[in-house]
Structure 1
């Protein structure tokens, strides 16, 4: 390759790397795998090594991450947040170790600290006199995005450090989402009609970039702290000691994922052991970070333009494979959400045979332009169902076929509706067998009809024996139906039948919640029950009547109208009426009555004796209002354990703050 060809290839690589960096760091919408990005980056570095004049100031080799979003105030890091050099195999780490020993002028084995490399979002937390002052993203390594309020919503980010602590410290950490939390979070998004995130890292990044901290607070974010920038008023000798200090100050560290290793052989042994553990971890990691443990040696080794000379990331092999799409099936969730799933020709990905991949929704199918018969690249993240990350369109033969969204439910044939602003179409049938089990479990739950004794095992048996085809059938059950069930004696059967009978007279708000109407949770169910004394009145309510109610918007209105418009739903409601299910009017406390009339309460932190909703209902029963956020109109904040930003705001505004015990005593006196 001559200089002209090298310059052309360098520019091509630089443009591609800039584009993919923007997609990954700013838009949270990567188009290629980490392994492919690393391959291009290494090719660019090789070109710059052979032709140094190509390493211009705007080269990707001179940057870390991507520029901050214009939506956020910019924060300049006192010390750059550098990236890490990558070792893609064990030989490359051995070369790194040799460079370290040469730079130190020693043949003695170096002691390293090995840490899990979490696949999350790097942040910096600046504490002044022990108090969190500023939180920011890494950004381009020099300038980041100021996201202090969002970081304050994360329970594992302390607002104050335990003393004694440094006068000033810039703590570096990784914000992430655990796999089980990610699965629940994505299911909830899909049920709400929103697009699912492709992986936990994208979900974490999107959560931190919310302009409204209240939205960030709803996300299951966690943090592990692993490093420092500035450190004033504290002398720390090693990386291991730094993590010990973090724990003393109240910062969260990954103790279980950290190991000391003396020399390259021990490091490689740690790497192999961690690689074997990878699939059992509750969070995503994509490698192991190896750091010279002695901080004095770290300073001696120094840094290059974008990476420290004393640390390296030993990357894991990519969890990707190429296969073909044999079919696209539709799965039906509890709320009727129809989710497309790709059925794949079985392929091994990271030691596991994969035969399905999530497609999330039809907008994602359109974005990928995926068809039955396509050759695709699938990527596996932990034990989360794999994703299709790329369609290899150049391998198409012309026999591939598109799959359109269904007009009717594949499980029950009911109409399918896609409500306004939702990306997920939904089955409108209340008795759809694919969603029946979860619908019955929700119907019988404590906040709904509270049918004690109707657990998951019993529900499974009722469905398998054909005794229940809708929630109405629960009220047709007899002693003779129940006694043949496993672990169902006479006492248990009688107890369950009594609980079913008692549930016939539940308040209307609990009955509405039990029906599982989209967007109607327990709070809105109570609000609707206060405005409409009977189910018939609510079903007949005009659109403008519903929209006139505070907190009832177009999405809830559309969902209610779609539910009551379904002939099958109306049939089941009529069956419930004939079987003696008579929801009772909700007793409402007049706005000017009750000892807490006009008072606004906010609950924050973990309550020991009460569930949050139970506490809110106590306030409402006495004429007060339970709000979700603190404002100047708030009268009282009830603070439980690990209270966060709401407590801080209450202190700033001078609002009354009481404990859970004080709240219970007050309620007892008022009642």
Structure 2
């Protein structure tokens, strides 16, 4: 496995998580949407080009909701969309659909094109036609209940027009028109209040008001465009049909949509919307293309954080010029040294930018970036922007070349940059204060233990004061209550909230526990895959200890997990069996409960079963087959073992069919499998 690629992914993912939180939880982005999207695209493109890193695929769609409003778990998660930045990306999106569904090249695939409103996603729950709850996206699974504020928006009906289903989750975008946005910012400025960076932030800030009168005065609007869960008495066959039904029930939908079936028609729609973009009375940050046929949407399903049947085509980015004042070096939790450019602050898309990630010393050398240079930057979403190029004709004689540190700026240890890697690294591990702190920050982060109130700055303070040195110390902070209450900026109320939050998080699911440890190459996706295989902490730990023997069944079972190969397995086994790490884990287990995790239960015969697919399938692609099996609760494996329950047999199966017979594994041919799936779906 290419360690250079792994390090680059780690750096970019950290940036993505930081800016996700600033955007979704704080409504205070530091960079534009385009900059954030570009960063995400860079991350996703690396994984696409290097499939062995599929386990690091992004799964988040937002950020964990704050404590200001009551939490609510969506009946059906609110997913995000993958992005296209060119017509080539759109063409690849269409080709992938044809391949996934095994469609012929002549099949005319209808797509519906819609403008992508730059606003706040919301889910509206109606029971017997009456608005029951309105919930923000949150992290995609859990959002905030903002019902009373939503009721002040004139575009959202309190009661639906008949006919309506017994139950339905209607989803769409809350937005502020351009004129109302400028009027609001003018008022904010006159009253010495916060100026909103863009209409999205203004909408989000308005919805999160405790005083509903403030929300009402903001003149918010709403377009319905998608659906969550719904009762069986609601029927629609296409996305266009769904929009029509929304309209009939009393919702406004964006009429700037069109059904197309080829790239030329998509291009015409794109150019038309681009030409009228400035004339629209609302902001858009792209276009959305969706498969119109709902049956095909269902077959395509989703992958981690996004549906396969839709994509967002982003609009061109804004490029600005500024000066790089200095280059500082940050040390990550794995010891990676990341150079960060400190900029002369510049406003891009309404956001003031003062930092830029330079990724690694090879990137700095390749672009010949020097301290004091004039540079062109491009914001790639809610993330630290990227340097496009140096404006060489403006280079001064006083500009300085950046020399990477030979010693760690945190602990003074010698830094090492292997010949075939891009990342320089401090090898001191947890003995390096910066790495220890970053590991603690990761441990308490929203996708791990999610301990609210224990932010980055407080973690740094507690570590510096020696109140916490490892994970287990966090759950012993109550011992220092009196001392903590006397610290500047804390106090009794904030400490009470923090200690209550820590106590509340003493139970965690096995997948989040594994992820929280911060093991190299173990992201959220494959942490869950591993957890679903072993189910309980004791079983997981036992097999990891046995897996030190590569000839053991435990090792073979681990590497056979879909998306988990030998390189990932080695990092996991090494971490768990390193005495210092094992001592930290054993100490931690004294204070917490790791909850068992099992596949979603259903009536399928495949629920909880280990399934291997071999050979060529005729009726559906291998990806669609895997997706279908996972929806039925199966565990997908890449190789046969005595723990395999079923082998699905396609054409030209090779040696696996023979091995399955030897191991007495149940074999299902493709026709039997296809008939079985049809019965389960009908």
Q: TM-score under structure 1 normalisation?
A: 0.48
Q: TM-score under structure 2 normalisation?
A: 0.47
